[in-house]
Structure 1
């Protein structure tokens, strides 16, 4: 872990309250601001509502006054005397209104709280026979005003009655209601503060007490480490969604989906997906893909007792496995050459003995017979197989099998041209099947150890059949033998077991062929590859597959 991350780890305990306090303070400030704004808006709304309420109340008083019979009779007589003033003042005192003013059709006042204004014209008075409400700013100050028409019993318009209620009365009622609004705002602020405190504590718990700068620094360190290492890293949350994947993992696993995707949405069902999602358990799980030999390890992640998911590391061992196979092949060939050296030394001793005894004719016949044995075998293989690479592979496998006491026989019905299709794949397939068959024949079975190889090519397909005299494949495991890493035998030397048949199966399926296993005396593997589309073989253009064909030519053991 980088030094900066370690330094932050040491300071976490002393600073783990900062984030909590900052979140709480900001949330309380926001709640206080919103509560104040809400209180002001509510006060303005209530003030407007009270204005409308008192305007309607003033209109009701004006309508009641306009329907007073004595007032109507006095106005019909022209409003002489102080009858209209007495009636208006009586109604004003009884209703608590600030003023009750009666106008005739010319806008002349016939009543007013200020007697000096009676008989004078109000320029704003325009009796039109309709009711009006509003805010009036006049001689008596700001008031909620209501105006009602004054009519005779027959409906003739005589004037109008204007009633005003003092704005101070509206303000007194508003100030009387504000403490209730403040109480509601205080309750809301208290509830919000409690919720903010709980949220801040939950956030603190979710971040494991880390500060914001610590989280940002850890994210930078994580990105630097993830994309700087040569191993693939994939992380999953408890629900199986991909939360972290570096570039190396995308390249090795062929992942194209983004973060948040599930494996069943990204990869087809198979050993690779089962190893990633934890269905396959164990360490160093080997998976063969179209281009790589991978080793996967899946580890669950827990922190403070909480399950956070799992992390899978992916190592590419393609080159390592290829080198191990090549080394194992070289060891096999070395053993075969050592055996041939012993056999050659024995023959030289026999030849020297015959010459020392003077048996020149017998020595000559023995030398000619020994020299012609291997050329005749090579010529027999060349008669059936035209491609020199396949001839070399069969000869090398024959020597390795002979060293292990197994007889490798190329069937007489074999017929393969000089440029067979799928050459690279055929070399890999034949090499792995023969190696497995030699192992099986050498481990026991009925009759002498023997492996029979058949290769046939026609206009539609290429057929490879490998049969051994070993113990065979039990029916209960016949469906599992093509899985990566499955084997009934332990590793031998540096070679990895359980990959050869998986590789063969993947190659065959990738190119539209079939592979079957059945019982003979031992096991019989039959591979059928269709001829490629086109006019000529694709050996020159076919891509190299894992493992390289050159390794298969040397008799590598998967």
Structure 2
């Protein structure tokens, strides 16, 4: 799939420019807010300074004495002017209880009444911003008290607002330096972050990432193959619809395999514990081929991708084809044997030995019926009889004898019939493979009130030491692949059938293997012969 080319500005440049713009805006907003906060702080500071000056003026003995005597006049103005010059206040105004000004920076207003009421009659001090004759100023008002502590007037002190504004202007470069430093640090951090994000996206631009996501979704949900991706921590990061259907996964994203699948061959194949290509895994519904590949990009391990293919029908067809080939070989051998017998019979007739020819023909005619009747005496079900006779004939052509035990008994309609046919066919095939030419296999079937017991014994080499726990796993086999058939599925199939229907299967160790299967009765899940099964074991059953 061709890689799309990003259009316009690079992703890292976009991120950097966006972050720089955000930083510039936030720095400007912060600068303005800091300026307003500092302006408010300066107003309070100048109000407290005016309050200190007012208290100083209210405590001056000359002003107190002049106001107490009622003389006021030049003394109050002289002292107030001196305090203004010494403190840097814009004005120091002394007001009597009669609302008359006794001092003011504007001489024309001395001796004239103020319009606003006296604020300190309650004996408390007041601060705030005032718009008076000298302009806007930070103002403080304190009571002027006589010798006995009574309020005899008011001292109002103001410091022009322009002084606070001037100090603020002198502090602004410092604020600007702090904002510029913060902007510089943020710019460097933004640049580093943009480069890191660029590396994290492997150099892909936004349009490329969006295109890859669309392509991935279309591919994952369009292919008829299960796909599961794992991150480096082993958690499921991608799973398509086919994988959910084949593996029976629900909401698996973000979960580990041990959280969504029980322990077994399937989980070991998915997590990489089992190594190999096209690992065959048998589930309750499918026969799967599993492949796991690690994902490495630019030297970085990104996890692994697992593909799961459904081979249920294919394996069933291959097994059926292999069975047909075996039957074909057996028929060819029987044809050769039949031709030899016909030649012998023709020779006897040419020699005119009619009695010998008749005896030979009678002997031949009773051979096969005798085997069939011997099986029918113990097994009443015709399908099982046909299976045993066919397996016996095929095994005979390979030099192996299959013998039905004398105590075998099976009714005409036994429980688990479909499963019994599958189990018997698989176990007999495995036993014939194991013993080879000259070997013997003994089959025992016993139907009782509460269970059906099946036993297949052979005189072959038996199960290898220590392999009793693994022989029922998918893919386990002591024989190489033969023809088109996949080895190691027969015992796994039998094991799953037995377990799914509440039965047990055991195997002996040592020379000569003995497989014992017990299926409980009654059969709670009867399956009519010839019914179509949706699970993988049933698909494979038809190939036996």
TM-score bracket, normalised by the shorter chain, equals over 0.9
Aligned residue number for residue 358 of structure 1: 352
Q: Which moved more, 1:108-117 or 1:371-380?
A: 371-380
- Contact 2:283–2:536, Cα closer than 8 Å, also in 1: no
The separation in 2 between residues aligned to 1:356 and 1:527, in whole angstroms, is 55
Aligned residue number for residue 377 of structure 1: 371
Task: Map residues 443-482 of structure 1 onto 2, 5 A cutoff.
Answer: 448-482=438-472
1:335 aligns with 2:329: yes
1:81 aligns with 2:81: no
The separation in 2 between residues aligned to 1:162 and 1:19, in whole angstroms, is 64
The separation in 1 between residues aligned to 2:523 and 2:180, in whole angstroms, is 82
Q: Which moved more, 1:366-375 or 1:37-46?
A: 366-375
What is the SS of the residue equivalent to 1:261?
coil
The gaps in structure 2 that reach 5 residues or longer are: none
- Contact 1:16–1:210, Cα closer than 8 Å, also in 2: no
Q: Deviations over 1:24-80 (max 9, x none)?
A: 111111111111101110111111111111111111111221122221111111243
Residue 493 of structure 1, aligned match among 483, 487, 510:
483
Q: Deviations over 1:224-282 (max 9, x none)?
A: 11111111111111111111111111111111123211111111111111111111111
1:171 aligns with 2:165: yes
1:225 aligns with 2:219: yes
Aligned residue number for residue 182 of structure 1: 176
The separation in 1 between residues aligned to 2:100 and 2:407, in whole angstroms, is 134
Note the aligned Cα RMSD (angstroms).
Answer: 2.0
Task: Map residues 211-360 of structure 1 onto 2, 5 A cutoff.
Answer: 211-360=205-354
Aligned residue number for residue 44 of structure 2: 52
Residue 368 of structure 1, aligned match among 362, 386, 391:
362
Task: Map residues 489-528 of structure 1 onto 2, 5 A cutoff.
Answer: 489-519=479-509, 521-528=511-518
Measure how far apart 1:107 and its partner are. Answer: 2.6
Task: Map residues 194-213 of structure 1 onto 2, 5 A cutoff.
Answer: 194-213=188-207
Residue 389 of structure 1, aligned match among 347, 364, 383:
383
1:148 aligns with 2:150: no
What is the SS of the residue equivalent to 1:483?
coil
Residue 94 of structure 1, aligned match among 86, 96, 111:
86
The separation in 2 between residues aligned to 1:132 and 1:263, in whole angstroms, is 75
- Contact 2:446–2:453, Cα closer than 8 Å, also in 1: yes
Residue 63 of structure 1, aligned match among 47, 51, 55:
55
Q: Which moved more, 1:265-274 or 1:477-486?
A: 477-486
Distance 1:418-1:108 versus aligned 2 partners, 3 A rule: farther
The separation in 2 between residues aligned to 1:111 and 1:550, in whole angstroms, is 115
Q: Deviations over 1:437-478 (max 9, x none)?
A: 1100117xxxx4011111222222221111111101122222
Measure how far apart 1:482 and its partner are. Answer: 1.4
- Contact 2:124–2:143, Cα closer than 8 Å, also in 1: yes
Distance 1:277-1:548 versus aligned 2 partners, 3 A rule: closer
Q: Deviations over 1:401-427 (max 9, x none)?
A: 111111011112222222222222222
Q: Which moved more, 1:493-502 or 1:192-201?
A: 493-502
Aligned residue number for residue 116 of structure 2: 124
1:158 aligns with 2:147: no
Aligned residue number for residue 526 of structure 2: 538
- Contact 1:532–1:538, Cα closer than 8 Å, also in 2: no
1:529 aligns with 2:523: no
User: TM-score w.r.t. structure 1 length?
Assistant: 0.93
The separation in 1 between residues aligned to 2:216 and 2:390, in whole angstroms, is 50
Measure how far apart 1:386 and its partner are. Answer: 2.6
Distance 1:545-1:364 versus aligned 2 partners, 3 A rule: farther
1:399 aligns with 2:393: yes
The gaps in structure 1 that reach 5 residues or longer are: none
Q: Which moved more, 1:210-219 or 1:78-87?
A: 78-87
Measure how far apart 1:305 and its partner are. Answer: 1.1
- Runs (4 or more) in structure 1 with deviation over 6 Å come to none
The separation in 2 between residues aligned to 1:394 and 1:533, in whole angstroms, is 22
The separation in 1 between residues aligned to 2:536 and 2:230, in whole angstroms, is 31
Residue 474 of structure 2, aligned match among 471, 476, 484:
484
Q: Which moved more, 1:216-225 or 1:192-201?
A: 216-225
- Contact 2:463–2:511, Cα closer than 8 Å, also in 1: no
Q: Which moved more, 1:316-325 or 1:480-489?
A: 480-489
The separation in 1 between residues aligned to 2:151 and 2:239, in whole angstroms, is 89
- Contact 1:88–1:100, Cα closer than 8 Å, also in 2: yes
Aligned residues: 541
Distance 1:238-1:549 versus aligned 2 partners, 3 A rule: closer
